[in-house]
């Protein structure tokens, strides 16, 4: 980063922090008249720049979990997925992840800045169709295409896991170790046990494809808007323990969409009232049914 860019960065940071401090001071001076946000949102960011280091995420990345953390100089290829609680931190060097790779729940991927046991800066490179198991730790290493790092395994600085190799669950690969292509290593410290069989390779390939498809489902669910979630909740309430006979007895058979529209209008109306500070229940939204309140009473009758 040039001196001028660093100056602009710190100037912008100073301006933002000063504005926030003035806002807090003003709220304090207003006392009872101070406005306080009623909803406390999480400050967590899935994808975060670190000064001049910023993640480069392919538009075709399949899924990044809401509570995952991708920080700094990180590049992720198409159809890859980063699951819940995973941390990929490229703060002092870079992390490169290929295509169709899955970084599973609570996995940690980091880099080395130099000065450690190997006394040199090391990035982390992960190839295509790699499986990083739950809770695994990869630190300043290289994992080639179609390799598997098992659950809770640790791969340390300067190690290289070649194509199609497998590091067993809970194993620890010491710094500078090279695992040959298609080999299975187990233990603490990990040692060569045998070659990976053709059946096992096929199984790992299938699991990798399954993660690509599973990621699509999670991405769809996590990407829903508040309105979509409200609509699904209303639909669930409408159909819970209700048969066609029950709806017919209420005169609502064939009017399910109207009822859901009335419920949605009611919810939107209540939100508007809350935002404006008006008393709850003021006025009624227009619906196809007599009123949204009547619709709620109708669909909830009999409970």
DSSP result, 53-69: B--EE-TT--EE-TT-E
> Crossing angle for the helix pair 256-276 and 292-300, nearest 10 degrees?
130
Q: Which residues of the chain have pLDDT under 70?
A: 1, 31-42, 114-120, 238-244, 246-247, 250, 252-257, 259-260, 263, 274-275, 277-303
Same domain, 72 and 9: no
In a domain, 219, yes or no: no
What CA–CA distance (Å, rounded) separates 66 from 152?
A: 22
The predicted pLDDT at position 242 comes to: 60
Residue 95 three-state SS: strand
Same domain, 54 and 141: yes
The predicted pLDDT at position 148 comes to: 97
In a domain, 185, yes or no: yes
Same domain, 194 and 96: yes
How many domains in the chain? 3
Q: Are 243 and 249 in contact (CB under 8 A)?
A: no
In a domain, 59, yes or no: yes
Tokens of 76: 């992720």
Which helix (H) or strand (E) is 138 found in, with range?
strand 137-139
In a domain, 260, yes or no: yes
Same domain, 84 and 134: yes
Same domain, 14 and 105: no
The predicted pLDDT at position 266 comes to: 72
What CA–CA distance (Å, rounded) separates 128 from 80?
A: 9
User: Which residue range(s) make up the domain with 238?
Assistant: 226-300
In a domain, 134, yes or no: yes
Same domain, 175 and 96: yes
Same domain, 77 and 102: yes
Domain CATH code at residue 74? 2.160.10.10
In a domain, 220, yes or no: no
Same domain, 92 and 184: yes
Same domain, 29 and 64: no
Dump pLDDT digits (tens) for 122-140.
999 999 999 999 999 999 9
Q: Give the global pTM.
A: 0.69
> Crossing angle for the helix pair 226-239 and 256-276, nearest 10 degrees?
130
Contacts of 115 (CB under 8 A, 6+ apart): none
Least Cα distance to 177 among 198, 152, 160, 154 occurs for 160
Tokens 């695992």 found at: 179
Same domain, 144 and 265: no
Least Cα distance to 262 among 228, 238, 229, 244 occurs for 238
In a domain, 53, yes or no: yes
User: How do strand 87-97 and strand 124-126 relate by DSSP bridges?
Assistant: parallel
What CA–CA distance (Å, rounded) separates 159 from 277?
A: 61
Same domain, 52 and 105: yes
Same domain, 58 and 134: yes
In a domain, 208, yes or no: no
């Amino acid at each position: 980063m040039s001196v001028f860019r660093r100056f602009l960065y710190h100037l912008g940071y100073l301006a933002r922090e000063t504005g926030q401090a003035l806002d807090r001071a003003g709220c304090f001076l207003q006392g009872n008249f101070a406005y306080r946000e009623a909803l406390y949102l999480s400050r967590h960011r899935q994808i975060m720049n670190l000064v001049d280091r910023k993640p480069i995420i392919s538009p075709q990345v399949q899924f990044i979990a809401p509570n995952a953390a991708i920080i700094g100089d990180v590049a992720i290829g198409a159809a890859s997925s980063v699951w819940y609680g995973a941390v990929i931190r490229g703060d002092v060097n870079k992390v490169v992840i290929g295509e169709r790779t899955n970084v599973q729940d609570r996995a940690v991927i980091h880099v080395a800045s130099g000065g450690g046991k190997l006394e040199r800066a090391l990035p982390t490179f992960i190839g295509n169709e790699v499986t990083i198991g739950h809770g695994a730790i990869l630190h300043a290493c290289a994992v080639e295409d179609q390799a598997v790092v098992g659950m809770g395994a640790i791969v340390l600085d300067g190690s290289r896991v070649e194509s199609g190799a497998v590091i067993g669950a809970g194993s620890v690969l010491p710094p500078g170790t090279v695992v040959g292509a298609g080999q299975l290593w187990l233990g603490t410290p990990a040692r060569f046990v045998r070659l990976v069989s053709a059946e096992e390779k096929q199984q790992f390939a299938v699991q990798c494809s399954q993660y690509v498809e599973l990621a699509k489902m999670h991405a769809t669910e996590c990407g829903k808007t508040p309105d979509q979630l409200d609509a699904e909740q209303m639909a669930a309430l409408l159909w819970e323990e209700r048969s066609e006979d029950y709806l017919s007895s209420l005169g609502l058979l064939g009017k399910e969409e109207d009822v859901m529209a009335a419920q949605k209008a009611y919810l939107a109306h209540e939100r508007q009232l809350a935002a404006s500070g008006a008393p709850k229940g003021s006025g009624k939204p227009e619906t196809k049914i007599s009123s949204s309140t009547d619709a709620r009473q109708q669909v909830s009758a009999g409970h």
